[in-house]
Amino acid sequence: MNTHKKILTSQIQGRIITPDDDNYDEARQVWNAMIDKQPAVIVQCCNASDVLSALNYAKETNLEVTVRGAGHNIAGNAICDNGLMIDLSEMKAVTVAPDTKRALVQPGATLADFDAAAQQHGLATPVGINSTTGISGLTLGGGFGWLTRKYGMTIDNLVSAQVITADGRQLTASATENSDLFWAIRGGGGNFGIVTEFEFQLHSVGPEVLAGLIVFPFEQAKQVLEQYREFTQTAPEDLNVWVVMRQAPPLPFLPEEVHGKEVIVLAIFYVGDLAQGESLLAPLRQFGTPHGEHIGVQPYTAWQQAFDPLLTEGMRNYWKSHNFTELHDGALDLLLQYAGNLPSPHCEIFIGQLAGAANGVASDAMAYSSRDAKFVLNVHARWETPAEDDASIDWARGFFKATAPYASAGAYVNFMTAEESGRVTDAYDSNYQRLVEIKRQYDPDNFFHHNQNIKP
């Protein structure tokens, strides 16, 4: 028996997986197929005690530690060569208290797990747009999605967290307990410890919402973008509209001859009164002459999974992202240029609208500082084979560099790749020095460094 397994089996209630196990390759796989690393041992924890035991074992044996929630992080921080992966994916319970509108969520839960449990009571909180994403990484890096305009970011709805620190303490982080740690984990990533439970504030949502897509020809993209920019300046916070530019998937409501052609898509979500929503989104149809649309009343959980088919695991992915306080003409021109030269049929550029409740939080209220951002633009290079790596990565980098003069301060750490460690200081802006001080307090030896690292 492998030495690590032999020792850990007596300490861990969950599974211990090592390279000689048949399920090792499956267990070490993460969402981004560009990440291919081989840990010495994987500990699939089933409770906080397992997490603490695995952490202590790693320190005793001088093993590097990585932490996996759902393994969705673009940079692949969940895994390293020859280290110990603390895998939280089996800890996925969600407990909802409808009377207080609170939820206790274990760190291995996906957004689908969280949404399903909360929606049983007609409740939700702002999370991301791909249901296979893990709640841990999303929350610790900030978190935004369809509900962000109305209810803020994921971290704005975090009430407390249970955290195991590098020295083995199990702490509650909240506004009243270890408030400095609570400040830091709301956007500071996995730098300060391992969260074993999140407590979220919930809001009345759905269970049905008005949502869907309007797909326009790429030739009309400039007029659509210009009208989108104007429309979003006065749209109510119940309404969120994103722009996606890509080749059209084989959606059943589109003519077959459109499939595989470049298009510009308005992705629409409305959480207010359903009858009023129809009149609010009517102007969007006049932005051009659509190829087709599919908009209607549907379960919130269905819309939360609508983009999953475009974001399945097993593909090679590389992202570049900017924040914007406004969409300048120059940025829109570059958007048209790069979206018209996609290196792969799986690539896309999207504009996510943030403007609303998230802007009402002070930039120093928590680690995440980009409170002036009204849009996040992500260039998502996605392809199938290593032979396509250079062309796809060069395309994303070229777009990122060209649009930088139009971007605002800060960065969204969840969209940063492994090579972007130099952007960490910029990402946190004026909050960075306080994060360094808190890192010194809770992790002076930088034990947790497989992340967008804040060096103590």
Rounded alpha-carbon distances, angstroms, from residue 338 to 107, 262, 379, 401: 37, 11, 9, 12
Question: In this structure, what token pair is assigned to residue 328?
Answer: 């300048």
- The reported pTM is 0.95
Instruction: Tell me, yes or no, whether 77 and 113 share the same domain.
Output: no
Instruction: Tell me, yes or no, whether 74 and 167 share the same domain.
Output: no
Residues in the chain: 456
Tens digit of pLDDT for each residue in 343-353? 999 999 999 99
Instruction: Tell me, yes or no, whether 297 and 405 share the same domain.
Output: yes
* Rounded distance between C-alpha atoms, residue 421 and residue 446, angstroms: 15
Q: Residue 421's pLDDT band (boundaries 50, 70, 90)?
A: confident
First to last CA, the chain: 38
* Rounded distance between C-alpha atoms, residue 370 and residue 243, angstroms: 21
Residue 274 pLDDT: 87
CATH of the domain at 148: 3.30.465.10
Tens digit of pLDDT for each residue in 72-94? 999 999 999 999 999 999 999 99
Instruction: Tell me, yes or no, whether 411 and 277 share the same domain.
Output: yes
Q: What mean pLDDT comes out for the span 146-173?
A: 98
Contact 159, 178 (CB under 8 A): no
Instruction: Tell me, yes or no, whether 124 and 70 share the same domain.
Output: no
Q: Residue 6's pLDDT band (boundaries 50, 70, 90)?
A: confident
Tens digit of pLDDT for each residue in 320-361? 999 999 999 999 999 999 999 999 999 999 999 999 999 999
Instruction: Tell me, yes or no, whether 241 and 362 share the same domain.
Output: yes
CATH of the domain at 63: 3.30.43.10
Q: Nearest 5°: CA angle at 14, between 55 and 57? A: 20
Instruction: Tell me, yes or no, whether 118 and 245 share the same domain.
Output: no
> Given 50, 70, 87, which residue is the final one in a domain?
87
Residue 160 lies in a domain: yes
3-state SS, residue 253: coil
3-state SS, residue 386: helix
Instruction: Tell me, yes or no, whether 59 and 100 share the same domain.
Output: no
Nearest Cα residue to 105 out of 129, 80, 139, 141: 139
CATH of the domain at 222: 3.40.462.20
Q: Residue 1's pLDDT band (boundaries 50, 70, 90)?
A: low
> Which parts of 127-285 are beta strand (E)?
158-164, 170-174, 194-201, 203-204, 208-217, 239-247, 262-270
Looking at the structure of the chain, the number of domains it has is: 3
Q: What is the mean pLDDT of the chain?
A: 96
Tens digit of pLDDT for each residue in 303-314? 999 999 999 999
Instruction: Tell me, yes or no, whether 52 and 196 share the same domain.
Output: no
Tens digit of pLDDT for each residue in 291-301? 999 999 999 99
Instruction: Tell me, yes or no, whether 26 and 133 share the same domain.
Output: no
Residue 5 pLDDT: 84
Percent of the chain at pLDDT exceeding 70: 100
Nearest Cα residue to 355 out of 328, 374, 376: 374
Its domain, for residue 108, covers 94-205+432-442
Instruction: Tell me, yes or no, whether 273 and 315 share the same domain.
Output: yes
